[in-house]
A and B are shown apart, each in its own frame.
Chain A
Amino acid sequence: MTGLSEEVRPNKAFGWAAIDTSGVLSPFKFSTRGTGEKDVAFKVLYCGICHSDLHMIKNDWGSSIYPLVPGHEVVGEVTEVGSKVQKFKVGDRVGVGCMVGSCRSCDNCTNNLENYCPEMIFTYGAKYYDGTVTYGGYSNTMVVDEHFVVGIPENLPLDAAAPLLCAGITVYSPLRFYGLDKPGLHVGVVGLGGLGHLAVKFAKAMGTKVTVISTSPSKQKEALENLGADSFLVSRDQDQLRAAIGTFDGIVDTVSAQHPLLPLLGLLKSHGKLVVLGIPEKPLELPAFPLIQGRKLVGGSMTGGMKETQEMIDFAAEHGIKADTEVIAMDYVNAAMDRLLKGDVKYRFVIDIGNTLKSIS
């Protein structure tokens, strides 16, 4: 750290960081900036573990800056607000998701689509305006511009709310944007993980009929009894697939492994929509005939803007939507990452930062 950074960041902080591509996390001391006039400083209480965190600590996408303090599903309690902050006060329950800055003036920003701003700044591992690198929520404290902070209503437990800040908005936004939020529509959810389980809950709350589409018959009981899905389709079962042809208005595909799109397109009614949220390593095969003959579309989506993120949190509070979590201690995080790699979690790890992140002497 240079002298310049110390001037810019006067407040001591601590967390856990990855220092190389092994991705192993360990205690790490750093500093945050002072609370500027538009900033909200908060004590972190919980932070969800997103699969993106795992990709980033191992530099799977080639963009990681070490040391890397991950975490973009952050909730906590406000400790200080800048003089021009209007929406929050000390003691408020707040959350921060995937971004902490944007240009605020481009078409996307003025349309509440800061997440698509070409100058959007990620919550961790990105260069901030002051030249410093952003550190995420696997830490005891954060300072964030008010615009990128959301309020968490009292009736949403903080630990179960944390995953909404990335996984929640990632599924909520496309359900709205692609019009799959109308009561009575039939929506499929492919993949039952962090994203998928929340997609089921949000889609049900919006009044749609929900079918979980999965390769594992063992997930059926979970899907129907725990998550409240209306039905379950084993995608490897040709008979089930055939019987369901042309019965879906939309499908939300959360799977990031390579997989064929043709069967999913076949499940759609004409004018149906396939929304892809997972990012496979290689391009997928897209057969054009089913798209053309049924006027179907394949569209993507990525998180959501700040206005919509707050709307999603309020919707979740109103409908009692919480993530299904496994709360862990900070020092379990490396074991959690190993399990996450194997998909061994129902359905999101959440780090109990407030109680288990010990300060470093």
Chain B
Amino acid sequence: MSTTVEEQKQQKAFGWAATDQSGTLSPFNFSRRENGDEDVTLKILYCGVCHSDLHVLKNEWGFTSYPVVPGHEIVGVATKVGKNVTNFKVGDRVGVGVLVGSCKTCECCQQDLENYCPQIIFTFNSYNPDGTKTYGGYSDMIVVDQRYVLRFPDNLPLDAGAPLLCAGITVYSSMKYYGMTEAGKHLGVAGLGGLGHVAVKIAKAFGLKVTVISSSPDKESEAINRLEADSFLLSSDPAKMKSAIGSMDYIIDTVSAAHPLLPLLSVLKVNGKLVTVGLPNKPLELPVFPLVFGRKLVGGSDVGGMKETQEMLDFCAKHNIAADIELIRMDEINTAMERLAKSDVRYRFVIDVGNSLSQ
């Protein structure tokens, strides 16, 4: 786009934003660009509340630019499509995840790995090439380049499907990349929250044996009865951890609080893989001995590219996988954030934007 910020047409938008490090959200008027030739405009119906929203609201990672409108698990209905848009039409159920832009020309973008593009533009708290800020899904509408819009399958519920756009792709992509999808193999899921519970469901759909690893004994019943994990490993019980040594092929570590890696590495078999997708504030402690003596690895992964995100949505639709959610009104968001900070949610809050966001 060659127009300057002043020349580019803007349209009114409304949402909830935080204006300082307290992270308290309140009604906020702002503007978005008009729908361009490549764009799709969504009327937002639901938006998942990701823990990253909370980290950014409170500037816990140190790069928040206020005012910030969070939200990157966005689903809605297309209300406008630009003249170059071929894959979407007005009325389509659509979603937007963690990114709304990338350079489109680098190696990563060419390999459908836009999420690793060095010039990635995040859905919120980021900057467009024209200098305007990006605002996320705690708002009434959003305008996004078609490349970063997803088609929401018909049989995926919009509200419970929203969290797949970040939590779902995060675990799906890491499992595919690290080759953790072989039926019959044994996967450990460390942490049972937004990411963890979706990991259990997706892993079961791949035919894996799944053990939930958690420090809270009261999650055992949840894990086995509600989420249908095959077993539960209490990480705070040294005897149980000892008997699990060398029993798992892979572990997805969704825990973002600081925690020791050695116990998890010990549970892996030789050639085992530990993939970390939680984003802890501080560095982790990495004992090298188990890596060397067992040829184990620790890798990271960060959401997924657009092609893979679509593939993930279609996979979840096919296997009837959606998140376990608690639907909230927009004006309940601050209370929800307080509860989220204490992990008091099973397992994702989703804001009923369509029915509860009003001026």
Contact = CB atoms under 8 A, between A and B. Distances in A.
A288 interface: yes
A198 to B, nearest CB: 17
B276 A288 contact: yes
Interface in A259-295: 261-262, 270-271, 276-280, 283-295
Interface string A78-106: 00000000000000000000000000000
B298 A298 contact: yes
Interface string B283-324: 111111111111111111110000000000000000000000
A120 to B, nearest CB: 10
A292 B286 CA distance: 15
B23 interface: no
Nearest to A296: B300
A168 to B, nearest CB: 17
Contacts of A113: 270-271
A348 to B, nearest CB: 20
B136 interface: no
**Chain B: interface size category:** 20 to 34
A297 interface: yes
A33 B118 CA distance: 62
A300 B280 contact: no
Contacts of B291: 276, 298-300
A302 interface: yes
B147 to A, nearest CB: 19
Interface of B: 108, 113, 116, 118, 177, 261-262, 270-271, 276-280, 283-302
A108 interface: yes
A116 interface: yes
Nearest to B287: A283
B295 A116 contact: yes
B contact face: mostly helix, strand, loop, or mixed: mixed
A297 B295 contact: no
A301 B295 contact: yes
B285 A288 contact: no
B299 A298 contact: yes
A295 B301 CA distance: 4
A177 interface: yes
Given A286-B283, A287-B284, A301-B295, 11 more contacts: A279-B288, A279-B289, A284-B288, A286-B286, A290-B300, A292-B301, A295-B116, A297-B297, A300-B288, A300-B297, A302-B293
B285 A283 contact: yes
- The 9 lowest CB-CB distance pairs between A and B, nearest first, are A300-B291, A291-B300, A297-B299, A299-B297, A292-B300, A300-B292, A286-B286, A270-B116, A285-B283
Contact of B295 (A246, A298, A300): A300
B283 A287 contact: yes
Contacts of A276: 288, 291-292
Contact of A292 (B177, B276, B295): B276
A289 B292 contact: no
A78 B31 CA distance: 83
A297 B300 contact: yes
A203 B336 CA distance: 53
A278 B284 CA distance: 19
A216 B270 CA distance: 35
Contacts of B289: 279
A118 to B, nearest CB: 8
Nearest to B276: A288
A177 B296 CA distance: 11
Given A270-B116, A294-B116, A284 B286 contact: yes
Contacts of A116: 270-271, 294-295
A301 B291 CA distance: 7
B305 to A, nearest CB: 11
Given A270-B108, A288-B283, A299-B295, A293 B288 contact: no
Nearest to A116: B270
A262 B283 CA distance: 10
Contacts of A293: 116, 300, 302
B293 A300 contact: yes
Contacts of B301: 292, 295
Contacts of A271: 116
Given A279-B289, A284-B286, A302-B292, A292 B297 contact: no
Contacts of B302: 292-295
Nearest to B291: A300
Contacts of B261: 286
